[in-house]
Amino acid sequence: MRERPTLRSVALKTGVSIATVSKVVNGITAGVSATTRAEVEAAIAILGYRPNRSGRSLRSQRHLVVGLAIVDPSPRFLADPFTTNLVAGLSNQLNTNGFGLLLHGVRPGKLSESTLIRQSGVDAICLNPSGEREERVAAMELASGLGQPLVVIQDRPVDTLQDVCFVRQDDQGGAELLAEEVMKRPCRRAVMVIADIPWPAVEHRVAGFKKVFDRHGVQLDFIRCDETNSQAITDGIADHLDRHGAPDVLVGQNDQIAIAAIHLLNSRGLEVPRDVAVTGYNAFPFTSISSPPLTTVRSRAYELGVTAATAILHRLEHGSFQQREYLLSLEMVPGRSAP
Protein backbone atom coordinates (compact mmCIF):
# COMPACT_ATOMS: atom_id res chain seq x y z
CA MET A 1 0.00 0.00 0.00
CA ARG A 2 1.44 3.36 -1.05
CA GLU A 3 2.37 5.64 1.86
CA ARG A 4 0.12 8.65 2.18
CA PRO A 5 1.87 11.87 0.96
CA THR A 6 2.72 14.49 3.57
CA LEU A 7 3.79 18.12 3.69
CA ARG A 8 7.36 16.83 3.72
CA SER A 9 6.74 14.80 0.56
CA VAL A 10 5.54 17.90 -1.25
CA ALA A 11 8.44 19.96 0.10
CA LEU A 12 11.00 17.38 -1.09
CA LYS A 13 9.47 17.19 -4.56
CA THR A 14 9.45 20.98 -5.04
CA GLY A 15 12.70 21.77 -3.20
CA VAL A 16 11.09 24.24 -0.82
CA SER A 17 10.61 24.26 2.94
CA ILE A 18 7.76 22.60 4.80
CA ALA A 19 6.72 26.05 6.02
CA THR A 20 6.33 27.23 2.42
CA VAL A 21 4.18 24.22 1.54
CA SER A 22 2.10 24.89 4.67
CA LYS A 23 1.53 28.48 3.52
CA VAL A 24 0.28 27.32 0.13
CA VAL A 25 -1.99 24.69 1.68
CA ASN A 26 -3.45 27.29 4.07
CA GLY A 27 -3.91 29.95 1.40
CA ILE A 28 -1.24 32.31 2.80
CA THR A 29 0.28 34.53 0.12
CA ALA A 30 2.91 36.45 2.12
CA GLY A 31 6.45 35.39 1.29
CA VAL A 32 5.46 32.95 -1.49
CA SER A 33 6.04 33.91 -5.13
CA ALA A 34 3.50 33.05 -7.83
CA THR A 35 6.01 30.67 -9.42
CA THR A 36 6.67 28.80 -6.17
CA ARG A 37 2.96 28.61 -5.45
CA ALA A 38 2.28 27.08 -8.86
CA GLU A 39 5.07 24.51 -8.39
CA VAL A 40 3.78 23.51 -4.95
CA GLU A 41 0.20 23.22 -6.20
CA ALA A 42 1.38 21.06 -9.11
CA ALA A 43 3.27 18.77 -6.72
CA ILE A 44 0.21 18.51 -4.48
CA ALA A 45 -1.87 17.41 -7.48
CA ILE A 46 0.73 14.89 -8.68
CA LEU A 47 1.28 13.34 -5.25
CA GLY A 48 -2.40 13.44 -4.34
CA TYR A 49 -1.68 15.21 -1.06
CA ARG A 50 -4.76 15.99 1.03
CA PRO A 51 -4.33 17.86 4.34
CA ASN A 52 -5.73 16.02 7.34
CA ARG A 53 -6.37 18.83 9.78
CA SER A 54 -6.85 16.66 12.84
CA GLY A 55 -3.69 14.66 12.28
CA ARG A 56 -1.45 17.26 10.67
CA SER A 57 0.27 18.38 13.85
CA LEU A 58 1.10 14.78 14.78
CA ARG A 59 2.64 13.98 11.39
CA SER A 60 4.63 17.19 11.13
CA GLN A 61 5.45 17.15 14.86
CA ARG A 62 4.14 20.70 15.02
CA HIS A 63 1.04 22.27 16.49
CA LEU A 64 1.38 25.46 14.41
CA VAL A 65 0.66 27.39 17.61
CA VAL A 66 2.85 29.69 19.70
CA GLY A 67 2.00 30.40 23.34
CA LEU A 68 2.25 33.83 24.98
CA ALA A 69 2.23 34.21 28.77
CA ILE A 70 1.77 37.75 30.07
CA VAL A 71 2.49 37.88 33.79
CA ASP A 72 0.21 40.63 35.09
CA PRO A 73 -1.86 40.87 38.29
CA SER A 74 -4.68 42.70 36.49
CA PRO A 75 -7.47 40.56 34.98
CA ARG A 76 -7.90 43.40 32.46
CA PHE A 77 -4.32 43.16 31.20
CA LEU A 78 -5.41 43.44 27.57
CA ALA A 79 -6.85 46.90 28.27
CA ASP A 80 -3.30 48.23 28.50
CA PRO A 81 -2.46 49.79 25.10
CA PHE A 82 1.15 48.59 25.21
CA THR A 83 0.03 44.99 25.73
CA THR A 84 -2.68 45.31 23.07
CA ASN A 85 -0.19 46.52 20.47
CA LEU A 86 2.36 43.87 21.45
CA VAL A 87 -0.20 41.07 21.10
CA ALA A 88 -1.43 42.47 17.77
CA GLY A 89 2.06 42.54 16.27
CA LEU A 90 2.86 39.03 17.47
CA SER A 91 -0.46 37.55 16.39
CA ASN A 92 -0.53 39.19 12.95
CA GLN A 93 3.00 38.09 12.08
CA LEU A 94 2.34 34.53 13.21
CA ASN A 95 -1.01 34.33 11.39
CA THR A 96 0.58 35.57 8.18
CA ASN A 97 2.91 32.58 8.38
CA GLY A 98 0.33 29.93 9.20
CA PHE A 99 0.67 29.91 13.00
CA GLY A 100 -1.87 30.73 15.68
CA LEU A 101 -1.33 32.47 19.02
CA LEU A 102 -2.46 31.01 22.34
CA LEU A 103 -2.66 33.87 24.86
CA HIS A 104 -2.56 33.40 28.62
CA GLY A 105 -2.81 36.12 31.25
CA VAL A 106 -0.98 34.79 34.31
CA ARG A 107 -0.95 36.14 37.86
CA PRO A 108 2.51 36.76 39.34
CA GLY A 109 3.89 33.62 40.94
CA LYS A 110 1.33 31.40 39.18
CA LEU A 111 3.14 30.62 35.94
CA SER A 112 3.76 27.01 36.96
CA GLU A 113 -0.01 26.52 37.30
CA SER A 114 -0.79 27.82 33.82
CA THR A 115 -2.05 25.27 31.28
CA LEU A 116 0.46 26.80 28.88
CA ILE A 117 3.21 25.38 31.08
CA ARG A 118 1.52 22.18 32.25
CA GLN A 119 0.34 21.03 28.81
CA SER A 120 2.55 20.82 25.73
CA GLY A 121 0.27 22.13 22.99
CA VAL A 122 2.51 24.77 21.43
CA ASP A 123 5.68 24.84 19.33
CA ALA A 124 7.32 27.72 21.21
CA ILE A 125 6.63 30.09 24.10
CA CYS A 126 6.79 33.85 24.47
CA LEU A 127 7.04 35.28 27.98
CA ASN A 128 6.32 38.86 29.04
CA PRO A 129 7.32 38.81 32.72
CA SER A 130 6.71 41.21 35.61
CA GLY A 131 7.78 41.31 39.24
CA GLU A 132 11.19 41.76 40.82
CA ARG A 133 14.16 40.67 38.72
CA GLU A 134 14.61 37.49 40.79
CA GLU A 135 10.98 36.52 40.17
CA ARG A 136 11.29 37.25 36.48
CA VAL A 137 14.42 35.14 36.12
CA ALA A 138 12.68 32.27 37.92
CA ALA A 139 9.81 32.51 35.42
CA MET A 140 12.27 32.48 32.51
CA GLU A 141 14.03 29.42 33.94
CA LEU A 142 10.71 27.63 34.35
CA ALA A 143 9.64 28.34 30.77
CA SER A 144 13.09 27.55 29.37
CA GLY A 145 13.15 24.24 31.24
CA LEU A 146 10.27 22.92 29.14
CA GLY A 147 12.70 22.25 26.29
CA GLN A 148 10.85 24.48 23.81
CA PRO A 149 12.15 27.62 22.09
CA LEU A 150 11.54 30.66 24.29
CA VAL A 151 11.34 34.36 23.50
CA VAL A 152 11.42 36.74 26.46
CA ILE A 153 9.83 40.11 25.75
CA GLN A 154 10.91 43.33 27.46
CA ASP A 155 13.59 41.98 29.81
CA ARG A 156 17.36 41.75 29.87
CA PRO A 157 19.17 38.54 28.84
CA VAL A 158 20.02 35.79 31.32
CA ASP A 159 23.33 34.27 30.24
CA THR A 160 22.69 30.81 31.68
CA LEU A 161 19.57 30.12 29.61
CA GLN A 162 19.81 28.17 26.36
CA ASP A 163 17.62 28.30 23.24
CA VAL A 164 16.22 31.65 24.35
CA CYS A 165 15.92 34.94 22.49
CA PHE A 166 15.38 38.31 24.21
CA VAL A 167 13.39 41.06 22.49
CA ARG A 168 12.99 44.49 24.04
CA GLN A 169 12.97 48.18 23.25
CA ASP A 170 15.57 50.63 24.56
CA ASP A 171 13.48 52.08 27.38
CA GLN A 172 16.50 53.41 29.23
CA GLY A 173 17.70 55.24 26.13
CA GLY A 174 14.23 56.69 25.57
CA ALA A 175 14.06 57.92 29.17
CA GLU A 176 17.47 59.56 28.81
CA LEU A 177 16.19 61.49 25.78
CA LEU A 178 13.26 62.81 27.82
CA ALA A 179 15.44 63.65 30.81
CA GLU A 180 17.86 65.64 28.65
CA GLU A 181 14.89 67.51 27.17
CA VAL A 182 13.50 68.60 30.55
CA MET A 183 16.99 69.66 31.67
CA LYS A 184 16.79 72.49 29.16
CA ARG A 185 15.04 74.40 31.96
CA PRO A 186 16.10 74.88 35.60
CA CYS A 187 15.25 71.78 37.60
CA ARG A 188 16.04 70.86 41.18
CA ARG A 189 13.30 68.35 42.03
CA ALA A 190 11.47 65.78 39.92
CA VAL A 191 8.88 63.16 40.76
CA MET A 192 8.14 60.02 38.75
CA VAL A 193 4.78 58.26 38.91
CA ILE A 194 5.15 54.51 38.41
CA ALA A 195 3.15 51.30 38.84
CA ASP A 196 3.04 49.61 42.21
CA ILE A 197 4.28 46.37 40.63
CA PRO A 198 7.75 46.10 39.05
CA TRP A 199 7.86 45.94 35.25
CA PRO A 200 11.27 45.52 33.60
CA ALA A 201 10.53 48.29 31.08
CA VAL A 202 9.75 50.71 33.91
CA GLU A 203 12.95 49.72 35.71
CA HIS A 204 14.85 50.67 32.56
CA ARG A 205 12.98 53.98 32.29
CA VAL A 206 13.75 54.79 35.91
CA ALA A 207 17.42 54.01 35.27
CA GLY A 208 17.46 56.38 32.30
CA PHE A 209 15.93 59.31 34.18
CA LYS A 210 18.06 58.68 37.24
CA LYS A 211 21.26 58.59 35.20
CA VAL A 212 20.63 62.05 33.72
CA PHE A 213 19.10 63.61 36.85
CA ASP A 214 21.97 62.39 39.04
CA ARG A 215 24.44 63.97 36.66
CA HIS A 216 22.65 67.31 37.01
CA GLY A 217 22.07 67.06 40.76
CA VAL A 218 18.28 66.72 40.47
CA GLN A 219 16.42 65.01 43.32
CA LEU A 220 14.15 62.25 41.99
CA ASP A 221 11.23 61.05 44.12
CA PHE A 222 8.63 58.39 43.30
CA ILE A 223 4.88 58.00 43.55
CA ARG A 224 3.70 54.38 43.32
CA CYS A 225 0.09 53.66 42.41
CA ASP A 226 -2.24 51.31 40.57
CA GLU A 227 -1.57 52.41 37.00
CA THR A 228 -4.81 50.79 35.79
CA ASN A 229 -6.96 52.98 38.05
CA SER A 230 -7.28 56.66 37.10
CA GLN A 231 -8.57 57.60 40.54
CA ALA A 232 -5.61 55.90 42.21
CA ILE A 233 -3.25 57.83 39.92
CA THR A 234 -4.92 61.14 40.75
CA ASP A 235 -5.05 60.41 44.47
CA GLY A 236 -1.38 59.43 44.57
CA ILE A 237 -0.27 62.62 42.82
CA ALA A 238 -2.60 64.79 44.91
CA ASP A 239 -1.26 63.33 48.14
CA HIS A 240 2.32 64.01 47.05
CA LEU A 241 1.48 67.61 46.11
CA ASP A 242 -0.21 68.15 49.49
CA ARG A 243 2.82 66.89 51.40
CA HIS A 244 5.70 68.16 49.28
CA GLY A 245 4.37 70.86 46.98
CA ALA A 246 4.77 70.98 43.22
CA PRO A 247 7.98 69.56 41.69
CA ASP A 248 9.77 71.16 38.78
CA VAL A 249 9.14 68.08 36.63
CA LEU A 250 6.54 65.32 36.83
CA VAL A 251 7.41 62.17 34.89
CA GLY A 252 4.69 59.70 33.97
CA GLN A 253 5.59 56.05 33.50
CA ASN A 254 3.19 56.22 30.56
CA ASP A 255 1.01 58.73 28.75
CA GLN A 256 -2.14 57.83 30.70
CA ILE A 257 -0.44 58.86 33.93
CA ALA A 258 0.97 62.03 32.39
CA ILE A 259 -2.44 63.13 31.08
CA ALA A 260 -4.06 62.49 34.47
CA ALA A 261 -1.29 64.56 36.08
CA ILE A 262 -1.88 67.47 33.71
CA HIS A 263 -5.60 67.50 34.53
CA LEU A 264 -4.89 67.50 38.27
CA LEU A 265 -2.24 70.22 38.04
CA ASN A 266 -4.59 72.41 36.01
CA SER A 267 -7.35 71.91 38.58
CA ARG A 268 -4.98 73.29 41.21
CA GLY A 269 -4.14 76.37 39.20
CA LEU A 270 -0.72 75.09 38.10
CA GLU A 271 0.12 75.68 34.46
CA VAL A 272 1.97 73.10 32.37
CA PRO A 273 4.81 73.55 31.54
CA ARG A 274 5.28 77.00 33.12
CA ASP A 275 4.90 75.77 36.70
CA VAL A 276 5.49 72.04 36.25
CA ALA A 277 6.91 70.29 33.20
CA VAL A 278 5.26 66.93 32.45
CA THR A 279 6.47 64.02 30.32
CA GLY A 280 4.77 60.82 29.27
CA TYR A 281 5.89 57.63 27.55
CA ASN A 282 4.60 55.49 24.64
CA ALA A 283 2.96 58.05 22.26
CA PHE A 284 0.02 55.85 21.32
CA PRO A 285 -2.69 57.56 19.22
CA PHE A 286 -4.85 58.64 22.18
CA THR A 287 -1.99 60.88 23.34
CA SER A 288 -3.39 63.53 21.00
CA ILE A 289 -6.14 64.29 23.56
CA SER A 290 -3.55 65.85 25.86
CA SER A 291 -3.62 69.62 26.30
CA PRO A 292 -0.93 70.82 26.01
CA PRO A 293 0.42 68.13 23.64
CA LEU A 294 2.64 65.70 25.54
CA THR A 295 6.39 65.56 25.36
CA THR A 296 6.85 61.81 25.23
CA VAL A 297 8.68 58.87 23.64
CA ARG A 298 7.22 56.68 20.92
CA SER A 299 7.20 53.05 22.01
CA ARG A 300 7.43 50.23 19.48
CA ALA A 301 5.11 47.69 21.09
CA TYR A 302 3.68 46.47 17.78
CA GLU A 303 7.17 46.09 16.30
CA LEU A 304 8.24 44.16 19.41
CA GLY A 305 5.49 41.64 18.69
CA VAL A 306 6.48 41.36 15.03
CA THR A 307 10.16 40.94 15.97
CA ALA A 308 9.35 38.24 18.53
CA ALA A 309 7.23 36.33 16.02
CA THR A 310 9.90 36.62 13.32
CA ALA A 311 12.54 35.31 15.72
CA ILE A 312 10.35 32.31 16.63
CA LEU A 313 9.55 31.47 13.01
CA HIS A 314 13.25 31.53 12.11
CA ARG A 315 14.04 29.28 15.07
CA LEU A 316 11.36 26.76 14.11
CA GLU A 317 12.46 26.76 10.49
CA HIS A 318 16.24 26.63 10.98
CA GLY A 319 16.72 25.04 14.42
CA SER A 320 18.36 28.03 16.12
CA PHE A 321 17.65 31.69 16.78
CA GLN A 322 19.26 34.07 14.32
CA GLN A 323 20.52 36.22 17.18
CA ARG A 324 20.42 36.19 20.97
CA GLU A 325 19.00 39.66 21.57
CA TYR A 326 17.04 42.35 19.73
CA LEU A 327 17.07 45.90 21.10
CA LEU A 328 14.73 48.32 19.31
CA SER A 329 15.72 52.00 19.40
CA LEU A 330 13.20 54.70 20.38
CA GLU A 331 12.61 58.31 19.43
CA MET A 332 11.36 61.29 21.40
CA VAL A 333 8.13 63.01 20.37
CA PRO A 334 8.44 66.74 21.16
CA GLY A 335 5.38 68.38 22.66
CA ARG A 336 4.52 71.45 24.67
CA SER A 337 4.23 69.87 28.13
CA ALA A 338 8.03 70.11 28.61
CA PRO A 339 10.58 71.61 29.00
Here the CATH number for the domain that contains residue 48 is 1.10.260.40
The confidence score (pLDDT) of residue 52 equals: 55
Quick check: is 105 in a domain?
Answer: yes
The confidence score (pLDDT) of residue 144 equals: 92
Quick check: is 339 in a domain?
Answer: no
Q: Are residues 43 and 81 in the same domain?
A: no
Is residue 255 within 8 Å of residue 52, measured between CB atoms?
no
Beta bridge partners of 125: 67, 150
CB-CB neighbours of 80 under 10 Å: 19
Quick check: is 88 in a domain?
Answer: yes
**Separation of alpha carbons 225 and 187, rounded Å:** 24
**Separation of alpha carbons 62 and 43, rounded Å:** 22
Is residue 326 within 8 Å of residue 166, measured between CB atoms?
yes
Q: Are residues 149 and 108 in the same domain?
A: yes
Q: Are residues 181 and 100 in the same domain?
A: no
Q: Are residues 116 and 159 in the same domain?
A: yes
Domain boundary among 18, 37, 60: 60
Total domains present in the chain? 3
Q: Are residues 92 and 112 in the same domain?
A: yes
Ramachandran angles phi, psi of 34, nearest 5°: -60, -35
Angle at 86 between CA 211 and CA 118, to 5 degrees: 105
The single-letter DSSP state of residue 293 is: P
Quick check: is 70 in a domain?
Answer: yes
**Separation of alpha carbons 186 and 54, rounded Å:** 67
- The per-residue DSSP string of 286-302 comes to GGGG-SSPPBEEE--HH
Quick check: is 335 in a domain?
Answer: no
The confidence score (pLDDT) of residue 7 equals: 80
Q: Are residues 185 and 280 in the same domain?
A: yes
Nearest residue to 149 via CA among 167, 132, 135: 167
According to DSSP H, which parts of 74-184 are helical? 81-96, 115-118, 133-144, 171-182
- Mean pLDDT of residues grouped by 10 in the chain (339 residues)? 73 87 75 88 84 48 88 90 96 94 93 83 94 95 92 96 97 98 95 94 97 97 92 96 96 96 96 97 90 96 98 94 97 94
Q: Are residues 78 and 165 in the same domain?
A: yes
Q: Are residues 82 and 24 in the same domain?
A: no
CB-CB neighbours of 245 under 10 Å: 8
Q: Are residues 180 and 258 in the same domain?
A: yes
Q: Are residues 283 and 312 in the same domain?
A: no
Q: Are residues 38 and 75 in the same domain?
A: no
Q: Are residues 193 and 136 in the same domain?
A: no
The confidence score (pLDDT) of residue 2 equals: 55
Quick check: is 72 in a domain?
Answer: yes
Is residue 156 within 8 Å of residue 168, measured between CB atoms?
yes
The confidence score (pLDDT) of residue 32 equals: 86
Beta bridge partners of 193: 223, 252
Domain with residue 156: its CATH number is 3.40.50.2300
Phi-psi region of 172 (alpha: psi -120 to 50; beta: other; left: phi over 0): alpha
Quick check: is 124 in a domain?
Answer: yes
The confidence score (pLDDT) of residue 51 equals: 64
**Separation of alpha carbons 316 and 337, rounded Å:** 46
Ramachandran angles phi, psi of 11, nearest 5°: -60, -45
Quick check: is 1 in a domain?
Answer: no
**Which domain range does residue 82 map to?**
65-169+301-330
